[in-house]
Chain A
Amino acid sequence: MDGLSQSHTGRSGFPPAYLDRVGSSFTDFLASAAPDLLPGRRPVPQIPVGDLTPHGTTIVAVTYADGVLMGGDRRATMGNLISSRDIEKVYPADSWSVIGIAGAAGIAIEMVKLYQVELEHYEKIEGLTLSLDGKANRLAQMIRGNLGAALQGLAVVPLFAGYDLDAAPGTTPGRIFSYDVTGGNYEERGYAAVGSGSLFAKNSLKKTWRTGLGGDAATRTLVEALYDAADDDSATGGPDPVRRLYPIVYRVDAEGAVRLADDEVAGVAKTVIDERAAAEGQG
């Protein structure tokens, strides 16, 4: 509680740490001012607890001519149970980047929240946005801090994508970074997927994705990859017309990160389903 009372200023002014003009990282600041708020600072469970927590599953990202798209299914599972049908696993990280998460949902969502504040905090203090590589690196450091929990079944594996404002002319401005549980940070070419259905999603993309796709065609490959993942992976949810739940898709281009309207994604999902049905399930 000591940490929380530290953040309860207002009655006695700013604690000394707040006036200390060092660093523009929110995580670093919390580590000194209120460490109990950080996900990596808690005792790691002694036994594997992976089956006790909801897990998020497939996230897919594809680049296209003007930027990058990221989408995720809506299912979270807990062992053999479906714990949520409408969970959101893709979030905007800031105006020019998005983050999708697979793994232990509780820690993952906390990490996304922290990461969003981290980027905004830097922007406000420095008056500049971090470079895309800087943002990707920062995320790797946060994953690294979670390694202990990851070994007890609470792994969090994000996928990060953004529009590179510094991209050289002629190169594609949309870039994708994937991670492993140890915080390894790898830039991906073209497309990437994480989560339990990633194998099937990547296989699907291998056949459908091409360099220089337009926005609509890229959206189609992304939704189709999620459909294929849901087809073969029990932990990934497909489009659900009964409940009107469709994958969440974000587009990041020169205009910034925008979530595609449900109707738009529903339309694409319907096309995919209709074509599969027309091929009598052989698509």
Chain B
Amino acid sequence: MTMPYYASPEQLMRDRSEYARKGISRGRSVAVLTYAEGVLFIAENPSSTLHKVGELYDRIGFAAVGRYSEFESLRVAGVRLADVRGYSYNRRDVTGRVIANAYAQTLGEIFTQQMKPYEVELCVAEVGDSSETDQLFRLTFDGSIVDEPDFVVMGGQAEAVTGHLRDNFRRGLDLGEALMTGVRALSAVSPARSGGDGDGSLLAAGQLEVAVLDRRRPKRAFRRVVGAALGTLLGDRAAGEASEGATAAHTPSTPQPGTPAGLGDPAAPDTAGGTGGSGEGSGPQSGPADGEGGGTDGGTDGGARS
């Protein structure tokens, strides 16, 4: 006969927290930073198909660390909630706060009522009309929700990365500067960068998943920065190409036949230059129909609309 045993609620919660924390700390880090034109997501993620960063709605993005299957189902739930709300009310009535609240409730419920808590940490980011109205919500495995002002770091080395960012982050950086700040912070703690420890080398483009919520884009602000555009932003910084690089990341283009916009082979990027030297803010261009931006490449020149 087995002995019935008693565990105090404190003990239970502590065990679960520890379990979840352990799971999360094994993963690589994700940083979400505000910059002048919106919100930047940088994830250390060598996979180009299993995303840690995603689009929830027009102005709302999502980033997560931890167990993929768990945060993926949360991401899908967020997309569903946003789409149902937008469909039954209006697109403007979908806010980051509503989605973040739903996540907090769900995570809290799972944490207290199920055997195994979710080993995830989430960030819901919403881009507003100006940088003062940008919002970053950070959600932890137990359902706590925090509204962070400038940046959110999650994952294994979160504290070290946060410390690094606290020293180097400034408000109102442009996209290139913000990206470099974030990548430097992630690289400082990552074991995966090209050189060994302490040589100051940075994570390569292939190990990063980068996306932005760009407030200048007409409707769907979310956009992945991939391929050559990312390379330009990462590599040619020293040449003082800051603003040009930033524009290139939003240049319209023609995707390769057969590849959905923006998701093609990194060697044949959807961005940076596009066709026939268009872009670089070369005057008003016909973007896609207003309101149908397209997740990764609507062919919109952000610069022409700013």
B259 to chain A, nearest CB (A): 8
Find A21's partner among B76, B81, B85, B294 (CB 8 Å cutoff).
Answer: B76
Return chain A residues, CB-CB under 8 Å to B289: 92, 95, 98, 250, 256-259
Q: Is the beta-carbon distance between B87 and A94 smaller than 8 angstroms?
A: no
Q: Is the beta-carbon distance between A258 and B257 smaller than 8 angstroms?
A: no
Q: Is the beta-carbon distance between B257 and A166 smaller than 8 angstroms?
A: yes
Please measure, in the bound complex, the distance between the C-alpha atom of A95 and the C-alpha atom of B295, giving whole angstroms: 9
| One of B100-108, B126-134, B161-169, B226-234 at the interface | B100-108
Q: Is the beta-carbon distance between A14 and B84 smaller than 8 angstroms?
A: no
Number of A-B contacts (CB under 8 A): 141
Please measure, in the bound complex, the distance between the C-alpha atom of A26 and the C-alpha atom of B55, giving whole angstroms: 16
Is A10 an interface residue when CB atoms closer than 8 A count as contact? Answer: yes
Q: A7-B84, A19-B106, A92-B288 in contact; A165/B79 too (CB < 8 A)? A: no
Please measure, in the bound complex, the distance between the C-alpha atom of A119 and the C-alpha atom of B149, giving whole angstroms: 34
Q: Which residue of chain B has its CB nearest to the CB of A120? A: B83
Please measure, in the bound complex, the distance between the C-alpha atom of A124 and the C-alpha atom of B82, giving whole angstroms: 11
Is A87 an interface residue when CB atoms closer than 8 A count as contact? Answer: no
Is B261 an interface residue when CB atoms closer than 8 A count as contact? Answer: yes
Find B88's partner among A10, A29, A37 (CB 8 Å cutoff).
Answer: A37
Return chain A residues, CB-CB under 8 Å to B261: 95, 129, 165
B:263-306 near A, CB below 8 Å = 263, 275, 285-295, 297-300
**Interface residues of B, count at CB 8 A:** 54
B contact residues vs A (CB 8 Å cutoff): 49, 51, 54-56, 72-74, 76-77, 79-81, 83-88, 98, 101-106, 108-109, 220, 252, 254-255, 257-261, 263, 275, 285-295, 297-300
Q: Is the beta-carbon distance between B299 and A29 smaller than 8 angstroms?
A: no
Return chain A residues, CB-CB under 8 Å to B73: 19, 21
Q: Is the beta-carbon distance between A255 and B299 smaller than 8 angstroms?
A: yes
Return chain B residues, CB-CB under 8 Å to A128: 260, 263
Q: Is the beta-carbon distance between A30 and B84 smaller than 8 angstroms?
A: yes
Would you give 21 A-B contacts (Cβ < 8 Å), ordered by A? Answer: A7-B84, A7-B85, A13-B108, A14-B106, A19-B76, A26-B83, A30-B87, A34-B88, A37-B88, A92-B292, A95-B288, A95-B293, A95-B294, A114-B87, A117-B87, A121-B79, A124-B83, A127-B49, A127-B295, A166-B258, A254-B275
Q: Which residue of chain B has its CB nearest to the CB of A260? A: B286
Return chain B residues, CB-CB under 8 Å to A258: 286-289
Is A186 an interface residue when CB atoms closer than 8 A count as contact? Answer: no
Please measure, in the bound complex, the distance between the C-alpha atom of A37 and the C-alpha atom of B103, giving whole angstroms: 23
Return chain B residues, CB-CB under 8 Å to A127: 49, 51, 54, 260, 263, 295
A:150-167 near B, CB below 8 Å = 165-167
Find B101's partner among A10, A114, A116 (CB 8 Å cutoff).
Answer: A10
Please measure, in the bound complex, the distance between the C-alpha atom of A92 and the C-alpha atom of B54, giving whole angstroms: 23
